[in-house]
Amino acid sequence: MTTPATGLETWSLWIGTIGMTLGTLYFIAQGWSVRDAEQQEYYIITIFIPAIAAASYFSMATGFGLIEVPVQGLGTLDIYWARYADWLFTTPLLLLDLALLAGADRNTIATLVGLDVFMIVTGLVGALAREGAAVRLAWWGISTGALIVLLYYLLGTLSEQASAMSGERAALFARLRNLVLVLWSLYPVVWILGTESGFEILPLGVETAAFAVLDLAAKVGFGIVLLRSRSVLSGSATRSAQTAD
């Protein structure tokens, strides 16, 4: 069976579960009275993000989301696969929020989501690969390559499209984009320092805590920043001034 979770590991997973649940409930409560269809769109997307993560954290906290992977030369690694199931759905939703804010066209959205899904799936393959450390690191490199292109796209094409929006909206976009740039860049770092790479510079407990902090900031933190600017979220650039709530 899998090795029993350490204190920090268990704590982090339960804090993740509770934090994501509270975030979900908070966004639902906030969005309850929203009648504007365009604003509702952001609420719907942003509520599902911590809701999916809460389910994933609950599965990890109760042991379902964990498997043992025997890796050549590294022994048996404990891998929380449920993270990737969560990220596969939540990261495209986060990008969708950003893309809507930027007024992005369909091709831009498709490119972003495509790169993102590619990044998460190749990361998952790297986490599950049994063929030894070199193969796992190669997958990490492929996934990180996709992240770099994705962030480059956020800074380039998407930011360009956002600059056509009103000042307030463009400023909100820039704030959230910067949050994504910083937080998302840390995921491959935690992965490579943690158990997945086999380096185990960070023990599983510390790695789990680090991912919990990143996940809470990237989902609940992101959602709070986005939704507290509700007045910016509806109408065209010019209408935004009149729809203050």
Ligand X SMILES: *C/C=C(C)/C=C/C=C(C)/C=C/C1=C(C)CCCC1(C)C
By the rule CB under 6 A, 129 interacts with ligand X: no
By the rule CB under 6 A, 219 interacts with ligand X: yes
Are 208 and 80 within 8 A, CB to CB?
yes
- The span of 11-19, 59-67, 116-124, 166-174 binding ligand X (CB under 6 A) equals 116-124
Q: Spell out, one character per residue from 79 to 108, where the chain touches ligand X: x when CB under 6 A holds, - when not.
A: --------x--xx--x--------------
Nearer Cβ to ligand X (120/165): 120
Single out the residue of 13, 66, 102, 218 in contact with ligand X (rule: CB under 6 A). Answer: 218
Number of residues that bind ligand X (CB under 6 A): 18
- The span of 74-82, 184-192, 201-209, 224-232 binding ligand X (CB under 6 A) equals 184-192
Single out the residue of 215, 223, 226, 234 in contact with ligand X (rule: CB under 6 A). Answer: 215
Tokens of 100: 């809507």
Query: Per CB under 6 A, which of residues 137..166 are in contact with ligand X?
Result: 140, 143-144, 147
By the rule CB under 6 A, 188 interacts with ligand X: yes
By the rule CB under 6 A, 123 interacts with ligand X: yes
Hey, what amino acid is at 222? F
Compute the distance between CA of residue 219 and CA of residue 217 in angstroms, rounded to an integer. 6
- The span of 10-18, 20-28, 136-144, 166-174 binding ligand X (CB under 6 A) equals 136-144
By the rule CB under 6 A, 208 interacts with ligand X: no
By the rule CB under 6 A, 66 interacts with ligand X: no
Mutual angle of helices 204-216 and 167-193, in 10-degree steps: 170
By the rule CB under 6 A, 226 interacts with ligand X: no
Closest chain position to ligand X (CB): 123
By the rule CB under 6 A, 54 interacts with ligand X: no
Residues that bind ligand X (CB under 6 A): 87, 90-91, 94, 119-120, 123, 140, 143-144, 147, 184, 187-188, 191, 215, 218-219
